Structures are given as C-alpha cells and as structure tokens.
Amino acid sequence: MKNLLLKTEGNITTLTINRPDKLNALDLETIKELDEAIASIEENDDTRCVIATGAGDKAFIAGADIEFMKNLNSIEAYEFSRKGHKILQAISDSKKVYIAAVNGYALGGGFEMALACDFIYASKNAKFGFPEVTLGIMPGFGGTQTLARITGKNIARQLIFTGSMIDADYAKSVGVVVDVKENKGELMELAQKTASKIANNGPIGIAMAKKAINNGFNLTPDEAYKYEGTLFGVLFATKDAKEGLSAFIEKRKPEFKNK
Ligand code: COA
C-alpha cells in the first residue's frame, strides 16, 4: 500500500495514514486503501484491537485532500462523501475495537475518522476542527452527525459554523477525547496499553457490547434494553462465555478463543 502502513503485533494492528508531506490528507488513493485495509483487518481473526494514527509529528489527518476536491462536480462530490461514509461506517460496525491516537491536526475528514473510532486519545499538540465552511463547503464524512451525538448540538453547531480549531484539553472537556498525553511517545504507549487490555478480554463480548452501544443509541430505552438482552442471551451460546465464567469460579485466567 502506498499511503498506509499496517503493522500487526500479537492481537493488535496499528494502522498508520502515511502521507506526512501532505499532513496525511485523504486523497482518493488513500481512501481506497483504507477501504481495503479495514476489510482485511475485519477478516483477520488474530486482530482484536486497532490503533489508528498518522505518520509524522504534525498530523493525524488534515482532512480530505483539497487539491483533489477542487475539481469535483456535484455527482463526484456526492460519491466521494458516500465513499467516506462507507469507510467510517465499516469502523463503527466492525467487530474490532478502533482506538484513534491523535497527534497533531485532526481536521475535516480526519476529525470524522477519529470520531468514527471507538474512542480517541490525543497528545497535547492535537487540534480538532471542521474547517470546511472556510472553504465554502461543509463536513461530508459524517461529521454533522457524529460530533453532535457526542457533544450535543450546540457545541457541534459552534464548531462547524465557525470552522475554528479546539485543542486537546478542550476536546477532553467536551467528551470528544478520553485522555490526553504530553507527547506522541506517551500517546502511543497509552494506546498500546489499552489495546493490550482490550485484546485480553472476550472478543465476542466486546463485539456485542459495541453493537449494543452503537445500534442501541437511537432506539427507545425499551427497544434498546430488549436489543441488549438479545445480544446478552446470544453470548451464552459461545464457548468464550462458558470459559470466562468457569475461569472465574476455578480461580484461573480465562483463555478466550473468539468462538
Ligand atoms: N489537502 C491537501 N493538502 C493538504 C491538506 C489538505 N487537507 N492539508 C495540508 N495539506 C498540504 C499543504 O498543501 C502542504 O503541501 P505543500 O507542502 O505541497 O504546499 C502540506 O500539506 C503542509 O501543509 P502546510 O499548510 O504547509 O502546513 P502548516 O503547518 O502551515 O498548516 C494546516 C497546517 C493544517 C493549518 C493547513 O495545512 C491547513 O489549513 N490545511 C487544510 C485543512 C482543511 O481545511 N481540512 C479540511 C478539508 S475539507
């Protein structure tokens, strides 16, 4: 792959957007590679947790590639937007846990990619924002939807309408970021540590919990509880549930097999 690096160690895959000279901006080639990479990660039973990050010291992803977008007509722009949605939906629908490790700029499509992940860790120099309106356009990879669901509509409107950037501490204060670290080294260390913890837990239990959180969010409480109950019930047909429950009683470490 030209613009992505994929590295799998144990049960953790690190997915690095690698166009540092363009601040990892998402051009068509990178989007295509992301689509393929996410599909291949999904098929890989060894991977339980993915750390998404950007190459270099300046950016996670500085947005969709403006050079590429400049010449799009309406139909092409619609298709580009839908390609972005497909990728970000593949992350939120994935059985794997995606952690965004944001070092530097996460703008436009980069902020949207981070928001599609299960949660975001950031380094102190992270900057988040939707500069699209400063370019005469608007967020098109889901940002009008995902940000508002996390911060509420007021903060989403303020950020999207002004096009201004927020720093890591403010992003943490409004729930966008879960934790902030001093520099990229500490950020990646935290992401690895969390990923290892997640990778040691029952993968099917995690996949079902992710479904319950993401798909249950827009249901009524009654529907959502029934949905949760169904997924909870399904887990009891798995070997991993028997293993985890038995291991506790037998005072030993469980060995989850993803079965
Ligand atoms: N699309 C295409 N190229 C981009 C880009 C993007 N979204 N963001 C940065 N780049 C390119 C720059 O054009 C520059 O390329 P060049 O060296 O060939 O001229 C290179 O990345 C470095 O960026 P530069 O602007 O020189 O870095 P900076 O530190 O001065 O500024 C930003 C950093 C993020 C403030 C600035 O690059 C920026 O505003 N980028 C656009 C952000 C944006 O609007 N994203 C949403 C798009 S919908």
- Give nearest CA residue, ligand 1 atom 6: 65
Tokens of 166: 């927020």
Please give the pLDDT value at position 149: 95
Cβ contact 129:146 at 8 Å? no
**Domains in the chain with CATH codes:** 4-199 (3.90.226.10), 203-249 (1.10.12)
**Positive or negative CA dihedral for 18, 51, 61, 142?**
positive
> How many angstroms does the Cα of residue 67 sit away from the middle of ligand 1?
10
> How many angstroms does the Cα of residue 23 sit away from the middle of ligand 1?
6
> How many angstroms does the Cα of residue 161 sit away from the middle of ligand 1?
20
Backbone angles phi, psi at 19, to 5 degrees: -135, 60
Please give the pLDDT value at position 93: 96
Contact partners, residue 73, CB within 8 Å, separation at least 6: none
Ligand 1 within 6 A of CB of 105: yes
Full pLDDT tens readout for the chain, 259 residues = 999 999 999 999 999 999 999 999 999 999 999 999 999 999 999 999 999 999 999 999 999 999 999 999 999 999 999 999 999 999 999 999 999 999 999 999 999 999 999 999 999 999 999 999 999 999 999 999 999 999 999 999 999 999 999 999 999 999 999 999 999 999 999 999 999 999 999 999 999 999 999 999 989 999 999 999 999 999 999 999 999 999 999 999 999 999 9
Ligand 1 within 6 A of CB of 138: no
* Cα angle 48, 49, 55; round to 5: 140
> How many angstroms does the Cα of residue 91 sit away from the middle of ligand 1?
25
Ligand 1 within 6 A of CB of 112: no
Concerning whether 228 is annotated as a catalytic residue, the answer is no
Residue from 23, 27, 141, 167 whose mutation best tests the ligand 1 pocket (most atoms within 8 A of CB): 23
Please give the pLDDT value at position 224: 97
Ligand 1 within 6 A of CB of 108: yes
Please give the pLDDT value at position 18: 98
Cβ contact 126:104 at 8 Å? yes
Backbone angles phi, psi at 239, to 5 degrees: -65, -35
Query: Mean pLDDT score of the chain, rounded to an integer?
Result: 97
Please tell me the pTM assigned to this model: 0.97
> How many angstroms does the Cα of residue 237 sit away from the middle of ligand 1?
50
Q: How far is CA 150 from CA 7, 27, 116, 176, in A?
A: 30, 27, 11, 7
Concerning whether 132 is annotated as a catalytic residue, the answer is yes
Report the atom number in ligand 1 closest to the C-alpha of 58.
Answer: 29
Select from 253, 254, 229 the least CA-distant residue to 240.
Answer: 254
- The single-letter DSSP state of residue 210 is H
- Give nearest CA residue, ligand 1 atom 19: 22
Please give the pLDDT value at position 105: 98
Which one of 67, 76, 132, 182 is the catalytic residue? 132
pLDDT digits (tens, 9 = 90+) for 40-82: 999 999 999 999 999 999 999 999 999 999 999 999 999 999 9
Ligand 1 within 6 A of CB of 131: yes
Please give the pLDDT value at position 208: 98
Cβ contact 115:52 at 8 Å? no
